Amino acid sequence: MARARKGPLIDPWGSELPEDYVRIIEHFGLEIFTDDLLEALPRPNKLMRRKIVFCHRDLKVIADAIREHKPFYVLTGIMPSAEKLHLGTRMVIENFRYFQEAGAKEAYLLVADLEAVATRGLTLQEARRRALEFYIPAYIALGIDPGKTKFYFQSENRTVLRLMTRFSAKVTMAEMEAIYGQLTPGKVVGALLDAADILYPQVREKMPGVIPVGIDQDPHIRLTRDLVKRTRSEFGFTAPASVYHKFTPSLDGSFKMSKSKPESCIWLPEDPASTERKIWKALTGGRSSLAEQRAKGGQPEKCVVFELFKQHLVEDDRELDQIYEECRSGARICGECKTYATELMREFMEDFKARLEEARSMVKDLEFVQE
């Protein structure tokens, strides 16, 4: 069974990957995020240190570029399909920001407005409105530095249009179905637009790039890497590197926080009274009685509240370590953790809301690349 290897940082909170992730890694030929790679990255963020970033493609290329001060880019996209974001989205931004601060020559944040139109049935006007009123401010509030980021809308980028069209001639329907399952015309267009976005920065300047994504976005990375190979002589693109983080679990303990289960989902933003109520109902690794917990200790590996600390709420590794040890020893009980998580979530949400308001006032001054 594949494991993330033990590293210099004591990693008491589950170095073993759940079966679901192991299957994904093996099936799609991803590379495990090893300690060697962790060491090769300067000042890794908490997602990396804690192996929440658990696999990647070609990240060594980017680590080398960082160390050698060579140009590379980081890119991510906003899909303005819903009215809300949930907590899980934060991790993409945290990784984006990591590479931006680690010296990316260019950082692109694109609005996949056309993809929302093609695959989610939105009108372009609605997609644009949502992006400007909420998504872009939220991404800035979550840590994207607008002064160091290039923004664009797919619908305003003719270079993306041209690349997408070129790519449409370089893949068969059967190959796309093998990656995406059953297709609609909208999905065909959406997937090709995604590949075009990922490679668009290389039209402007030849350099490698890294795409931080949730594992569910890997199909786009696979398609894009195939297309890089098939257009080698024409474009000479470098295959995109990618870095994958685990999902934030649903508060009921299931694999992934999802908008389809609103009671187990933390919105960005959400009212503290509401997050408090949800956190108090969250699945923990607690025992069936206080006496048993004091005697045997809790099971933080199974605890969604601990996962919230690890992925989102606790920055300091030593503090996280301490929570882990206190739980395992039976010194710390679930009520204490829920109270603390509620408090940290309140602070986070208050901070986020204030930043969101500030970011909203900045949006009108943003410049969007038009091509």
One-letter amino acid of 168? S
Q: Is 117 in the site for a copy of itself (CB under 8 A)?
A: yes
Name the segment binding a copy of itself (CB under 8 A); options: 50-58, 110-118, 204-212, 342-350.
110-118
Size of the site for a copy of itself (CB under 8 A): 34
Q: Is 186 in the site for a copy of itself (CB under 8 A)?
A: yes
Residue from 48, 92, 104, 118 in contact with a copy of itself (CB under 8 A): 118
Q: Is 181 in the site for a copy of itself (CB under 8 A)?
A: no
Phi/psi at 150 (nearest 5 deg)?
A: -95, 125
CB neighbours of residue 301 within 10 Å: 16
Q: Is 268 in the site for a copy of itself (CB under 8 A)?
A: no
Residue from 59, 164, 265, 323 in contact with a copy of itself (CB under 8 A): 164
Residue from 45, 89, 119, 284 in contact with a copy of itself (CB under 8 A): 119
Binding mask 39-58 for a copy of itself (x = CB under 8 A): --------------------
**Cα distances (Å, whole numbers) of residue 55 to 2, 104, 208, 214:** 11, 20, 18, 10
User: Residue 184 or 329: which CB sits closer to a copy of itself?
Assistant: 184
Rounded to whole angstroms, the Cα distance separating 65 from 304 reads: 36
**Cα distances (Å, whole numbers) of residue 215 to 7, 60, 87, 135, 197:** 23, 18, 16, 21, 18
Q: Is 234 in the site for a copy of itself (CB under 8 A)?
A: yes
Name the segment binding a copy of itself (CB under 8 A); options: 56-64, 93-101, 102-110, 151-159.
151-159
Question: Among the residues of the chain, which ranges form H helices?
Answer: 19-28, 35-40, 46-49, 59-67, 89-101, 113-120, 124-130, 136-141, 158-168, 173-180, 185-204, 218-230, 232-235, 272-280, 290-296, 304-308, 317-329, 334-363
Q: How far is the CB of 104 from a copy of itself (least distance, A)?
A: 27
* CA dihedral over 172, 175, 180, 183, signed as positive or negative: positive
**Cα distances (Å, whole numbers) of residue 43 to 55, 99, 143, 281, 327:** 18, 11, 17, 35, 28
Residue from 2, 9, 189, 366 in contact with a copy of itself (CB under 8 A): 189
User: Residue 288 or 370: which CB sits closer to a copy of itself?
Assistant: 370
Q: How far is the CB of 113 from a copy of itself (least distance, A)?
A: 9
Residue from 8, 27, 68, 173 in contact with a copy of itself (CB under 8 A): 173
Residue from 110, 188, 199, 341 in contact with a copy of itself (CB under 8 A): 188
Q: Is 249 in the site for a copy of itself (CB under 8 A)?
A: no
Rounded to whole angstroms, the Cα distance separating 168 from 258 reads: 32
- List of residues contacting a copy of itself (CB under 8 A): 114, 117-121, 123-124, 155-158, 161-162, 164-169, 171-173, 176, 183-186, 188-190, 192-193, 234
